[in-house]
Amino acid sequence: MENIEFTTDEKENWTIVSFEIKDIISPGDLLNLNPPKVNATKGVLLNGRGPIWLYCCLSHYYHATAFIATCDPRLGGAVVVESHSQRFRVGEVIKET
Q: What is 15-47 written as a DSSP string? A: EEEEEEE-S---GGGGGG--PPP--TTSEEEEE
Measure the CA–CA gap between 8 and 4, rounded to whole angstroms.
13
Q: Which of 60, 46, 64, 63 is nearest to 4 (CA)?
A: 46
pLDDT in tens, 33-69: 999 999 999 999 999 999 999 999 999 999 999 999 9
- Indicate the pTM of the whole model: 0.93
pLDDT in tens, 13-29: 999 999 999 999 999 99
Q: Are the beta carbons of 31 and 62 closer than 8 angstroms? A: no
Measure the CA–CA gap between 95 and 97, rounded to whole angstroms.
6
Q: What residue ranges do the domains of the chain occupy? A: 1-21+37-77
